[in-house]
Amino acid sequence: MELVTPDEIDVLFCWPAGKSERLARRGVLPHVVLPDGKTIRFNRIEIESRIQRVPANAVGSRAVEPSVA
């Protein structure tokens, strides 16, 4: 298991500094709290597995709502 810091997750996802830690503390991202009770780390594989892959042809496409007659 490769544990990474919140800063590394923020860089990985191009998030503003501190976003991954805020999401973890709100229970949105799975994380590990170290024995000091304050420091958190993320399992890189678990976080990367939550990335939703989008096909290249779907980027920029818009969903079309069915019309109601």
Question: What is residue 10's three-state secondary structure?
Answer: helix
pTM higher than the cut 0.75: no
The 10s digit of each residue's pLDDT in 9-67 is 999 889 999 999 999 999 999 999 999 999 999 999 998 888 777 777 765 656 555 44
* CA 31 remoteness from chain centre: 11
Q: Measuring CA to CA, which residue among 43, 50, 49 is closest to residue 1?
A: 43
Q: Give the Å distances, CA to CA, from 26 to 9, 21, 29.
A: 16, 9, 8
